[in-house]
Structure 1
Amino acid sequence: MDTVILSDWLSARLDRAAAEPSYRQVLRLMQQAILTGQLPPGTKLPSSRTLAGDLLIARNTVLRVYDQLTAEGYVISTMGSGTYVADTRPDSVAVNARRASPASGSIDKGAPTPIRREHGDLSSRGRRLIGQAGVSPKQWGAFMPGVPDVAEFPARTWSRLQAKLWKEANPDLLTYAPGGGYRPLRRALSDYLRVARSVNCTPDQIIITTGIHQSIDLAVRLLTDVGDRAWVEEPCYWGARSVLQSSGIKLVPVPVDDEGLNPREQDLQNPPRLALVTPSHQYPLGMVMSLARRRTLLEYARQHKVWIIEDDYDSEFRYGSHPLASLQGLDEAGQVIYVGSLGKMLFPGLRIGYMIAPEHLVDTFRTGVAELYREGQLMQQAVMTDFIMDGHLTSHVRRMRALYGERRQILIDAITARFGNELPVMGDEAGLHLVLGLPDHANDREVAAAAYDAGVIVRALAAYYSGETPARRGLLLGYACVPNAQIGPAFDTLARVIEQTALGASTRTTGQRRHAT
């Protein structure tokens, strides 16, 4: 492409009515011509005056384009000689090395190797993570499990507290978070957790994180090596399972029964490096680990130096009884790492979680969280501190516990009215969801997919088991984020899907007759 053709080529493509400035258009077009070889290396560009006249644009515009092309290495300007297209072609030695056959060492002079796409680009653990991902494209609506009603959050109170802090604009709150997080927040959380969860800790033991996922990830990175074994409950929360697997940990699913984690003889004979448990409200089935099992687990961990990660994700919401004491409160050997989050109490987007490290590991965990994640969010942590200290957290949790209790009962009543005792309800004593059992022959994954197509979000219980054949079939139904008036209609929709996909024709007829009466 000579200089005359270049002017014509640019002029034909210059859109003078476009919102994009002429400078940006000419720069983009010339970059394209150089990269595609239409302007080969060594081509002398027309003078800025000539090109400006040909394109009917200001000379300063062309000078600005040439300056930018020079700065980015597309062209080379020589005093007294002119501006030439630089040779930016990939180095032939490097390209040929990439084309070499590993088997024969020969050089492929033909077309470059096609770029792999999608899962072919991933590592083996990356493929496993994406292939087993449980995250939903929707995070709100009936019956999304584990999501609080963010519409009930006292936003005005939060905004007022936040505005006060921003008005002061303390520079210390705008930098990275040293020492495991904002100390006043750690002190407030220590006081709260001692009363609400019977946790034994000092403010120094609390490490502020962005949530339970990060807390688990930090503990795993600092306390395990690739290939170490970890006990996980069977079934268990898919997110925790993904965090462990992505760190190269070998998972050992341990069954649960009505008393919680129930290790088998072969499990006990091969102590793991760590055990991840949800003793106060097993996720997803909802049982509570008995005191005898707790003491047994703690003694086993003490004898075999097993780290226990206690995931206490939503224990504030119990219906008909007070919140249960933590496993950490019984630990005398310093083997339990307690992790929790404020997201389910307030709103998930808050992204403030915490972990309680054994005293001898406090400095290690502080260094680890700062080194790996470069924590910040001190302003949010300061707002959270005032929110707790002024009593807003306690009153909000109390109010939401009552509201969620109402919604839980509305949902249970809807289930009973439609199915009677035919489908069992499990894990409804606490938390933000319950499990609706399905017949053994039912495919709960298919039911969940059909419900999604009908506009209702549920999770298949099978997704929480590590094996292909789950011990139980069922659906997780979250009720916390569903307004009272919408629970009945939404469940009617779900019930029709269940009757069509999981139950036989006779059951469907019986259900319709019961519903009509």
Structure 2
Amino acid sequence: MQGAIAEGIFPRGSRLPATRDLARELSVSRNTVLTVYEHLMSQGYVMARTGSGTWIAETLPDSCLHSPRSTVVSEPTVSKPAALSKRGATLLGHANASPYQWGAFVPGAPDVRQFPHKLFSQIQSRLNREPDIERLIYSSNGGCPQLRQALAEYLSVARSVRADASQIIITEGVHQAVDLVTRVLCDAGDTVWIEEPGYWGTRNLLRINGLKIQAKAVDEQGIIPDLPPRSKAPKMIFVTPSHQYPLGVHLSLERRRQLLDLARRHKCWLVEDDYDSEFRFSGQPFPSLQGFEPDAPVIYMGTFSKTLYPALRLGYLVVPASLAQPLRVAAAELYRGGHLLIQRALAEFIQKGHYMAHIRRMRKLYSQRRRFMTGLIERYLGAAFMPAFSHEAGLHLVLNLPAGCDDVAIAALALRRGVKVRPLSQYYMHPQERRGLLLGYACVDERQCQDAFGILKACLSDALGIIRPEI
């Protein structure tokens, strides 16, 4: 045991087993174990704490630190790479999730400091004191009934969504929602369309589920839904019609009709990702594609990650009535729904008007921060760097860069200097000439924004030779 302590097998400050338990485990007399413990205590390896047992000393005797065992220099162990499946290797080979999720200028990060945490905690505490049994077991009905009802009412008013509570399934965010609908409604090898550029997270989930991905170009009217003659129709089309990610364009009325007509003729599903439509800063939010026509072949996805905070891990699906039961059963089988206590608290938060009040406050704040950011771009970089699509919405904008420049290298340089931006080229599936940087402005106040923008401008100067007045 002395050697095990010296080698760190028993960590310093850890508790040793009770003498009676250790004697039983080793099939020796308890007196033998007591003798060993007393010997270790006399040498300073362990100490007894009244009422709490025997513990390994935080500081070991010098003889232990310089024992022959500890002076042997062994060759460093080189671990062999773990054998991964082809699917696992593909997933890791395309992994793009950033370890940086906060600060200037992380795209898509809401200002989580502004959420009314105290109010939400009070609701949770009251509900948690005497929780119903139904909220402490697995969920097999698509999530908390009160939250599904609250969402049905909210989405009808705010997003013109046509659905009742039975058509809503609560998920742990958009990633789980995409995984669920593709597993249930697609087979490996089926063709799906995505926007080009588009969200890499969706693209990776489709890839890992064995689907054939076709990237369809986006212009100033949104996705271009062209289906050449004799081409195979897609099984699903993934779109962000209210605020295209990442370019920010709005899907035009004509394109909406084209998509819906294509989906009806070829019996495919439109999957509408409505990730941040609440944050439109001029005019009314655009209505959902799902509510554009009665019985539209649209699966609608939403999330609370942008409106509240990402760690909440709550999103939702609104599905046609014919899909509600199969997708509920599949969700329970695949993921075993939970978090019903926090779902119930969120339902009350919505029903009592706190959710809409929070969105109104954040809409005003993010609008101010966006104006401040665009003002810096115009003043210190010039009109050529302004976003190509200037829709006043969302939590980020795209800083234009000269075609063909290395936006990946510029983003890496900015990161080394403490500013976190995303290169636009990484959102394309196929190589493009268009270059840019995604700048998130939602989670930085004006002082932080100005300081970080000064660093970014210096990076652009070094990379592109831009000469502008100092900030």
TM bracket, shorter-chain basis: 0.7 to 0.9
Q: For 1:138 and 1:8, how far apart are their aligned partners in 2?
A: 44
Match for residue 156 of structure 1 among 100, 109, 118: 118
**Aligned pair 1:20/2:14, yes or no?**
yes
Q: Note the 1:86-101 alignment, pairs <5 A.
A: none
Check the 8 A contact 1:286/1:426 in 2, yes or no: no
Tell me which residue corresponds to 2:81.
Answer: 117
Higher helix share: 1
**Aligned pair 1:55/2:19, yes or no?**
no
Tell me which residue corresponds to 2:416.
Answer: 453
- Gapped regions of structure 1 (runs ≥ 5): 1-6, 32-44, 59-113
Which digits, 9 at most, give the CA deviation of each residue in 1:347-381, with x for residues without a partner? 11111110011101111011011110000111111
Q: Could you tell me how far 1:320 is from its partner in structure 2?
A: 1.1
The two structures have a TM-score, normalised by structure 1, of: 0.78
Mark the CA change 1:418 to 1:171 in structure 2 (over 3 Å): closer, same or farther. Answer: same
Q: Note the 1:222-371 alignment, pairs <5 A.
A: 222-266=184-228, 269-371=231-333
**SS of equivalent residue, structure 1 residue 466:** coil
- Gapped regions of structure 2 (runs ≥ 5): 40-77
**Aligned pair 1:197/2:159, yes or no?**
yes
What amino acid is the match of 1:386?
E
What amino acid is the match of 2:419?
V
Count residues in correspondence.
430
Q: For 2:215 and 2:351, how far apart are their aligned partners in 1?
A: 41
The two structures have a TM-score, normalised by structure 2, of: 0.85
Could you list the structure 1 runs, at least 4 aligned residues long, displaced by more than 6 angstroms after superposition.
7-17, 24-28
Tell me which residue corresponds to 1:437.
Answer: 400
Q: For 2:218 and 2:312, how far apart are their aligned partners in 1?
A: 32
**SS of equivalent residue, structure 2 residue 397:** strand
**Aligned pair 1:408/2:402, yes or no?**
no
Tell me which residue corresponds to 1:142.
Answer: 104
Q: Could you tell me how far 1:242 is from its partner in structure 2?
A: 1.1
Match for residue 181 of structure 1 among 113, 131, 143: 143
Q: For 2:6 and 2:401, how far apart are their aligned partners in 1?
A: 66
Mark the CA change 1:306 to 1:167 in structure 2 (over 3 Å): closer, same or farther. Answer: same
Q: Which has the higher contact order (CA 8 A, sep 6+)?
A: 2
What amino acid is the match of 1:400?
M
Check the 8 A contact 2:240/2:274 in 1, yes or no: yes
Mark the CA change 1:185 to 1:214 in structure 2 (over 3 Å): closer, same or farther. Answer: same
Check the 8 A contact 1:461/1:475 in 2, yes or no: yes
Q: For 2:216 and 2:350, how far apart are their aligned partners in 1?
A: 37
Identity of aligned residues (%): 43
Stretch deviating more after TM superposition (13-22 or 481-490):
13-22
Check the 8 A contact 1:448/1:460 in 2, yes or no: yes
Q: Could you tell me how far 1:421 is from its partner in structure 2?
A: 1.4
Mark the CA change 1:331 to 1:125 in structure 2 (over 3 Å): closer, same or farther. Answer: farther
Check the 8 A contact 2:366/2:442 in 1, yes or no: yes
**SS of equivalent residue, structure 2 residue 383:** coil
Q: Could you tell me how far 1:234 is from its partner in structure 2?
A: 0.5
What amino acid is the match of 1:296?
Q
Q: For 2:117 and 2:2, how far apart are their aligned partners in 1?
A: 59
Q: Could you tell me how far 1:170 is from its partner in structure 2?
A: 2.3
Mark the CA change 1:471 to 1:255 in structure 2 (over 3 Å): closer, same or farther. Answer: farther
Q: For 1:267 and 1:495, how far apart are their aligned partners in 2?
A: 48
Check the 8 A contact 1:254/1:267 in 2, yes or no: no
**SS of equivalent residue, structure 2 residue 470:** helix
Q: Could you tell me how far 1:263 is from its partner in structure 2?
A: 3.1
Check the 8 A contact 2:108/2:396 in 1, yes or no: yes
Tell me which residue corresponds to 2:334.
Answer: 372
**SS of equivalent residue, structure 1 residue 207:** strand
Instruction: Report the RMSD for the aligned CA atoms in angstroms.
Output: 2.7
Larger gyration radius, structure 1 or structure 2 = 1
Q: Note the 1:431-510 alignment, pairs <5 A.
A: 431-467=394-430, 469-501=431-463, 503-504=464-465, 508=466, 510=467
Q: Could you tell me how far 1:18 is from its partner in structure 2?
A: 4.7
Mark the CA change 1:26 to 1:277 in structure 2 (over 3 Å): closer, same or farther. Answer: farther
Match for residue 95 of structure 2 among 113, 129, 133: 133
Q: Could you tell me how far 1:332 is from its partner in structure 2?
A: 3.7
**SS of equivalent residue, structure 1 residue 434:** strand
What amino acid is the match of 1:247?
N
**SS of equivalent residue, structure 1 residue 372:** helix
Q: Could you tell me how far 1:283 is from its partner in structure 2?
A: 0.3
Check the 8 A contact 2:195/2:215 in 1, yes or no: yes
